[in-house]
Chains A and B, each alone.
Chain A
Amino acid sequence: MATKIALEGLTKSYLGMLPVLDDVSCHIDEGEFYYLTGVSGAGKTTVFRLLMLIERPDRGTIEFDGADITRLTPGEQALHRRRIGMVFQDYRLLAADSIEENVALPLRVAGYRGAKLRKKTVEQLEQVGLAQRRRERVAGLSGGEKQLVSIARALAFSPKVFFADEPTGNLDHTMAFRVMELIRNLHREGCTVIVATHDLSLIRAFRARTLLIKDRKLHEVRLAEHRASG
């Protein structure tokens, strides 16, 4: 299987303090499903921020399909982000806008207009069961509903790469199950998926390859190993 994402010698620290990630290397194969786990503050979100080019590594390279993304121009960075579906831990939705407007945003950015835009947006909303409520403002939604909107937005382009940072963090069991099913369907369609979570019950329920961040290093572990290492 081809390597989709390659991290080589990645180091990242904040404000000159002890690094969050120290000389991390990892290869993510195309079409694979990975959990990214670790205790709170281990660096899971930092990994996503680096992959999304929100942060730059202090050292090391990040390759997507063989191309080093740390050297992209601002215009190329925008294109890079468009090919990734990203669900953020804090949703990152426009609170004053409606559900429909939030989900339509990446489509609009890519040039969709008029009936085509509306059709695609409604399709995404139907996947998450929010089509009937599309005109409601995001500010009035619960955490779980916001997470669904965030997922619908991330799925807008049927991305080949999908990242989710604690997608079930604020959800009840039923909603969490629904969200994971959506993500697993995406994976079945050939998408490369990385889900960050510290919820071991989730990993147990929906088994997949697991990467553990511990002591600023990244290791692939089996679930039993992970439990033992606490």
Chain B
Amino acid sequence: MYLRYGIPRALRGLRTNWQANANNVLILAASLAVLGMIVLLYLNVVHFSETWLSNTTVSLFLRQGLPEPQRQALLEQVRQHPLVKDARMVSPGDGLRDLADKLGADQSLLAGAGNEGLPYTIDFDLFVDYRDRVGTVAERFRGLPGVADVVYTEHLLEQVRLFFVMIKAIGAFFIGLILVSFYMIVSLATKLSLHARREEIEILSLVGATRRFICSAFIVEGMLIALAGSLLAAGIVWLCHQLLISGLSWNEVTAGIKEQAVFFPLQALGGALAAAAVLGAVSSYLAVSRMLRELQP
């Protein structure tokens, strides 16, 4: 019974008070878009940190003049380690070519450099779940005969990991803060727009409408406004994301970031829209209930 009254009444209310409702939609969209962009940034930082930290490569520099059979034996030993995902031998020529690729436009710096004196290296990666043990594994291989040096960015790795943990914590704090602000904005916007509808609520009360009857239309209105605001916010965030992504092609480093950049998965977006609709409904219900309590004799 309540929805059969509530839905047409809500649609009529939206039409009649379209200016106030449009304001509310814009306020919601703006605050949600800010929240969405911060969450998206946080998401990408987390994703990037996970990807970066999981790609840790250790390089074993082999002794100069080590015979080929011993080089292959060492490679096999590394491959057989249970935490090693994959390992490969990099010849001096391959190493020079890799360096030239990384330098890109600046590879002219290598002009005239030969591969004499460059050692063979064994590069290996650990499985993602064991990346925090890269130091232990690397030091173990350092002691093997035929290995001249082991290179991995252990200190930088640790500091970057700590940096990402700090960023995640700060990000989570700010997201929590913005969620609270968002709820307050929604509540205030709902309260203000309902204040303009006070007379309507009063008249409904005077003709004998129950609280549930009165709330039904406003709950539907609140839900629709919140949905409209969150859809608009999603569009804004998506647009900003696309603009940022398209602007990230200006060099190799940013192109790498571009490849790893993520957007919200569809299920998460759907969940966020549903949560916004629920929040809109709850805010409206609370605001109308508060007003009805004020109208109580």
The answer to whether A and B come from one shared complex is yes
> Chain B residues with Cβ under 8 A from A53's Cβ?
297
A39 interface hit (Cβ, 8 Å): no
Centre residue among B16, B202, B297 by max chain A CB count within 10 A: B297
From A97, which residue of chain B is reached at the shortest CB distance? B12
The CA of A82 and the CA of B209, in the complex, are separated in Å by 8
B296 interface hit (Cβ, 8 Å): yes
Contact of B204 with A105 in the complex, beta carbons under 8 Å:
yes
Contact of B209 with A109 in the complex, beta carbons under 8 Å:
yes
Contact of A110 with B208 in the complex, beta carbons under 8 Å:
yes
> Chain A residues with Cβ under 8 A from B200's Cβ?
94
Centre residue among B205, B211, B213 by max chain A CB count within 10 A: B205
B268 interface hit (Cβ, 8 Å): no
B206 interface hit (Cβ, 8 Å): yes
Closest CB in chain B relative to A141 CB, distance in Å: 16
Which of A22-30, A72-80, A185-193 interfaces with chain B? A72-80
The CA of A31 and the CA of B28, in the complex, are separated in Å by 55
A111 interface hit (Cβ, 8 Å): yes
**Contact A54-B209, Cβ < 8 Å, known A96-B16, A111-B1, A113-B4:** no
Interface size on A, residues (CB 8 A): 28
Contact of B203 with A81 in the complex, beta carbons under 8 Å:
no
Contact of A52 with B208 in the complex, beta carbons under 8 Å:
no
B5 interface hit (Cβ, 8 Å): yes
A43 interface hit (Cβ, 8 Å): no
Contact bitstring A72-105, B, C-beta under 8 A = 1, else 0: 0011011111100010100011101100000001
B156 interface hit (Cβ, 8 Å): no
> Chain A residues with Cβ under 8 A from B297's Cβ?
53-56, 77
> Chain A residues with Cβ under 8 A from B204's Cβ?
105, 109
Interface size on B, residues (CB 8 A): 20
Contact of A92 with B208 in the complex, beta carbons under 8 Å:
no
Closest CB in chain B relative to A221 CB, distance in Å: 29
> Chain A residues with Cβ under 8 A from B113's Cβ?
none
Contact of B206 with A92 in the complex, beta carbons under 8 Å:
yes
Contact bitstring B199-224, A, C-beta under 8 A = 1, else 0: 01011111111110100000000000
> Chain A residues with Cβ under 8 A from B208's Cβ?
78-82, 106, 109-110
Closest CB in chain B relative to A46 CB, distance in Å: 12
The CA of A153 and the CA of B4, in the complex, are separated in Å by 21
**Which of B203, B213, B296 is A93 in contact with, Cβ under 8 Å?**
B203
A59 interface hit (Cβ, 8 Å): no
> Chain A residues with Cβ under 8 A from B209's Cβ?
78, 109
Contact of A78 with B5 in the complex, beta carbons under 8 Å:
no
> Chain A residues with Cβ under 8 A from B292's Cβ?
74
Centre residue among B16, B200, B204, B206 by max chain A CB count within 10 A: B206
Closest CB in chain B relative to A86 CB, distance in Å: 7
Q: Quick one: which of A118-170 are within 8 Å of B by CB?
A: 153
The CA of A84 and the CA of B259, in the complex, are separated in Å by 71
Contact of B207 with A153 in the complex, beta carbons under 8 Å:
yes
Contact bitstring B81-105, A, C-beta under 8 A = 1, else 0: 0000000000000000000000000
A178 interface hit (Cβ, 8 Å): no
The CA of A52 and the CA of B205, in the complex, are separated in Å by 11
The CA of A110 and the CA of B209, in the complex, are separated in Å by 8
Contact of B1 with A105 in the complex, beta carbons under 8 Å:
no
From A56, which residue of chain B is reached at the shortest CB distance? B297
Contact of A94 with B203 in the complex, beta carbons under 8 Å:
yes
**Which of B4, B5, B203, B210 is A92 in contact with, Cβ under 8 Å?**
B203
**Contact A78-B1, Cβ < 8 Å, known A96-B16, A105-B204:** no
Contact of A109 with B213 in the complex, beta carbons under 8 Å:
yes
Besides A54-B206, A105-B203, A109-B210, 11 other A-B contacts (C-beta < 8 A)? A52-B206, A75-B210, A86-B206, A94-B200, A105-B207, A106-B207, A109-B204, A109-B207, A109-B208, A109-B209, A113-B1
Which 4 A-B pairs have CB atoms at the shortest separation, nearest pair first? A82-B208, A56-B297, A81-B208, A106-B207
In the assembled complex, 19 residue pairs joining A and B whose CB atoms fall closer than 8 Å, in A order, are A52-B206, A54-B206, A56-B297, A74-B211, A75-B211, A78-B205, A78-B208, A78-B209, A81-B206, A81-B207, A86-B206, A92-B202, A92-B203, A94-B203, A105-B203, A105-B204, A105-B207, A108-B5, A109-B213
Q: Which residues of A contact B (CB under 8 A)?
A: 52-56, 74-75, 77-82, 86, 88, 92-94, 96-97, 105-106, 108-111, 113, 153
Q: Which residues of B contact A (CB under 8 A)?
A: 1, 4-5, 12, 16, 200, 202-211, 213, 292, 296-297
